[in-house]
Each structure stands twice: as structure tokens, then as C-alpha cells.
Amino acid sequence: MRTAVYPGSFDPITVGHIDIIDRLALHYDRLVVLVAHSLQKKDLYCFTVDERVELARKSLAQHSNVIVDKFSGLTVDYMRQNNIQVVVRGLRAVNDFEYEMSMASMNKKIAPEVETLLVFASPEYYYVSSRGIKEVAMNQGPLQGLVPQHVEVALRNKFSPVSSK
Ligand code: ADP
């Protein structure tokens, strides 16, 4: 069975992530969207790991071959435990490249059996990032077309002027 893992923070999942997943799901029997719970980044996440998993699951419910899981260690350890050899990452602009290249090289060093595939973002999603979306949400800006509707609701609740007081 051809399986790949697509790891990330997904804080929260965006239309950019979903585009990559829609495209990849066509080429794999099983695609694992792996929501990272890095203890180092714990205080930087906007949503808890379980909230991020839930938002991703709901966004991807139409895919019978996509599963959403969570993990708090190295992606390569998850891959070894689950016998997966392909990890996919999305590439937007040049600044993604440097980060992705060093991560792919590190993964190759510590787990030579792992292959990293980089997939270009569709041009219409180049500018979409979870970080940018949180900035917009924090300032009560429009989120339509950037995240699925239920994610928009979750962001509105998280950043509502009432709850942040
Ligand atoms: P991380 O915190 O690990 O960078 P993210 O959730 O921000 O996790 O992103 C997960 C993966 O999805 C990364 O490879 C990132 O480059 C990619 N990605 C994020 N946004 C987009 C987008 N708009 N189009 C394509 N790929 C994207």
C-alpha cells in the first residue's frame, strides 16, 4: 500500500494545506496528515493539538483515504513506527525552500530510508499561511476563502473581542 505522511502544525488547517492534500490523495492509497505537537512550540500554538486534529478531520471528511493523526516526537520516528517512507511538504516561496531543504537533509541523515517530496503550492494559494490567517482573525478581518467555514467559526471564537478580554 502506497502511504505518505504530510506533517505540519496545521494551526489551523487552511485552503493551502487542503489543496496539497486534495492533490496528493489522488496519488496515494493512504495519506496521513500528521498534526505535530511540539512541546517546544507548545505556547506558540493558537489551538490545542486536539482542536487542530478536529478542525483538520472535519475539513478532510470527504477523503476516505486521508487520516489525521497527532504526534509529539520526530516525524521520522512516527514514520518508522508506522512503516511509512515518504514525507510530503508544501513549498510556497523561496523562504520555504531553505527551511524545507535543511529539514529534508536532516531527516535523510537521521533516517536514510525516508524520502522527502516537495509539492509546489498552487499559485492562488502562495500567500496563504496559518500565521497570516491568525493575524487577520486577531484583527477581526475577513477570512472567507482562506479557511473552511468551521475553521472560520473556530477562529472567530478564539479571537472574539469578548473572549480575549
Ligand atoms: P510547519 O509549522 O511544520 O511549517 P504548517 O502547518 O505551517 O507546518 O505547514 C505544513 C506544510 O504545509 C509545510 O510544508 C508548509 O510549507 C505547507 N504549506 C503551508 N501553507 C501552504 C500553502 N498555502 N500552500 C502549500 N503548502 C503550504
What's the average model confidence in pLDDT over 39-44? 81
Comparing C-alpha atoms, which of 89, 101, 108, 82 is closest to residue 7?
Answer: 89
What's the average model confidence in pLDDT over 79-87? 98
* pLDDT confidence band for 165 (50 / 70 / 90): very low
Asked whether the predicted pLDDT for residue 3 surpasses 60, the reply is yes
130 a catalytic residue:
yes
112 C-alpha to ligand 1 centroid (Å): 23
What's the average model confidence in pLDDT over 29-38? 96
- Pocket around ligand 1: residues whose beta carbon is below 6 Å from it? 8-10, 14, 16-17, 20, 89-90, 92, 96, 121, 125, 128-130
pLDDT of residue 48: 95
Q: Please state the pTM of the whole predicted model.
A: 0.94
What's the average model confidence in pLDDT over 78-100? 94
78 C-alpha to ligand 1 centroid (Å): 19
Specify burial of residue 11 (Cβ count, 10 A radius: 0-12, 13-18, 19+): buried
6 C-alpha to ligand 1 centroid (Å): 9
pLDDT tens readout for residues 66-82: 999 999 999 999 999 99
70 a catalytic residue:
no
Probe target for ligand 1 pocket from 47, 92, 103, 151, with the most ligand atoms within 8 Å of CB = 92
User: Chain centroid to CA 4: how far?
Assistant: 14
pLDDT of residue 163: 55
Backbone angles phi, psi at 86, to 5 degrees: -115, 125
Mean pLDDT of the chain: 95
